[in-house]
Structure 1
């Protein structure tokens, strides 16, 4: 088993893992919130900028790239528009980080009890994929609320989080809170598996390379590289998830007023491929990668630092 796997699994108690994961998720979410809003707006835009005829009857905004979307939101909605959906997103990241790291360490230790010991990278892949699936399912209603609030333009679809909960429960039922969950789990399983396997493999290599690293640490550099590779591989599923999350009675009230009606993962994939082509599947990928790099770097860096602080605080108690 690789030293990187053992290091992440064996540091700290279960409580310390939960706290460090929660802190990492909270800090990371606040830093990348504006990029997240921009990404969601681009993913929900179905018209093609390469085809002028596709925008002639568009009632909502027409975003042109990351900077163009940023300028449009600032001009039309102000600075606070870049943090729409941040409250449910912060709650989601707080819970997600705790569940993810807790499940990861638990499953990793569980795999270590098997009669046949898996290779280090296989252990990381399975543990990361299972932890991602658990965290995604547990926090999915918050993810759906984040998307719906970020998709609101100047016209408010929901007056508050409480109002959104009441409306979804009344008009869509319990299933309404889990629209697109299939795409979410289908995305997160390979993403987190690839991410943790890449991260655990890259961290010791980069740490011993002697080359100056971004943000000054091999943890951050490994997080950036692992996230970019993983995010690109599964990005179309993320786009499908966002399209499904805004389905429902308010579908045509969001900032893009021409979002088609989708019914499932495969039908959404087929519809996007037919009407928008390959570019439709990867719309917003640039800003997603810009978001993924600092998000993962901040997450892993904060996790390692938070864990280090708690371990240092516990050391004097053990020495007494």
Structure 2
């Protein structure tokens, strides 16, 4: 039979109780994990704000590349809505990654998987889906504000994010802050599960499954597997993303996810469900590549899961390649 390498998995309580050797002796591991995730999300989305603006124009306004570039004009317009985007992404990633680790631990424990055995693939997929749903439901109103600002459908709402939320709630009702949520959940279940599970399994392959979360990998390795995970998830889930963006912008809000897809196909043809897929896959691949590289680096710096910080680590041990 196939033997499994014994892996001693520290529990969340054990990690929180451990004192880190350098600069973070009193900060719980879970808080450091949240900070590492949130910082990587905020930094990554700011770097890619111009690509996101172009992607939204393709998907929601149906503009050509030349037309989208011309309509944006001044340089600052390429970062329109970035404040809301940064806050939303920081919170979403800050919730998703710790939740993913927590759900994996809980599912593994509840299902009776031995502690010295790797987490089953089905549990990794389920944990990814649950983590994505949790973060999406908690952060969705911020996504709506970001979408409205980015598409310039809230020209009068130039105040704070809170004032934008209040403006939508007052004029359209609280329900408007959740337009498109069913489509988002329907899309986030396969997207989040495939993205996180792909990354988790590729990362485990690199580290040979040995206490994987406490072992650092190089920036190049994390960027590579992050891009692969993003491409797999983005390509398969794109029609849900189109419906979500349309409904968040106020279109097709009375229809179900399937009904909205049918309406788009009936009015614009099947190709409309995949309009902008190329730039979307490029953006998601780039975003995940950058995001996971930053995430791994911030986890090293904040010594999450008892990792050694970069300034105390001579080099990263050689690991398996994908060849």
- With the shorter chain as reference, the TM-score category is 0.7 to 0.9
Q: How far apart are 1:304 and its partner, in Å? A: 1.0
The farther-off stretch of 87-96 and 158-167 is 158-167
Change (3 A) 1:277 1:120: same
TM-score normalized by the length of structure 2: 0.77
Residue in structure 2 matched with residue 72 of structure 1 by the alignment: 70
TM-score normalized by the length of structure 1: 0.78
**More RCO (CA 8 Å, sep 6+):** 1
Number of matched pairs = 277
Q: SS state of the match for residue 113, structure 1?
A: helix
Q: How far apart are 1:3 and its partner, in Å? A: 9.5
- CA-based RMSD of the aligned residues comes to 3.0
Q: How far apart are 1:22 and its partner, in Å? A: 0.6
Residue in structure 1 matched with residue 214 of structure 2 by the alignment: none
Q: Does 1:122 align with 2:122?
A: yes
Residue in structure 2 matched with residue 183 of structure 1 by the alignment: 183
Q: Is the 8 A contact 1:130 1:189 kept in 2?
A: yes
Q: Which runs of 4+ in 1 moved over 6 A?
A: 1-4, 9-12, 312-316
Residue in structure 1 matched with residue 37 of structure 2 by the alignment: 21
Change (3 A) 1:158 1:106: same
Residue 261 of structure 2 is aligned with which of 241, 255, 269? 269
How far apart, in 1, do the equivalents of 2:67 and 2:142 lie? 24
Q: Is the 8 A contact 1:73 1:82 kept in 2?
A: no
User: Superposition pairs for residues 1-320 of structure 1, below 5 Å?
Assistant: 13-45=29-61, 63-65=63-65, 68-75=66-73, 78-117=74-113, 119-152=119-152, 156-160=155-159, 161-205=161-205, 217-247=220-250, 261-264=252-255, 265-311=257-303
Residue in structure 2 matched with residue 256 of structure 1 by the alignment: none
Q: How far apart are 1:216 and its partner, in Å? A: 5.4
**Going by fraction, where is helix more abundant, 1 or 2?**
1
Contiguous gaps of at least 5 residues in structure 2: 17-28, 209-217, 309-323
How far apart, in 2, do the equivalents of 1:140 and 1:15 lie? 22
Q: How far apart are 1:203 and its partner, in Å? A: 2.6
Q: Is the 8 A contact 2:230 2:285 kept in 1?
A: yes
How far apart, in 1, do the equivalents of 2:221 and 2:60 lie? 35
For residues 51-84 of structure 1, what are the alpha-carbon distances to aligned partners after superposition, in whole Å with 9 as ceiling and x for unaligned? xxxxxxxxxxxx223xx24531343xx1111111
Q: Is the 8 A contact 2:35 2:94 kept in 1?
A: yes
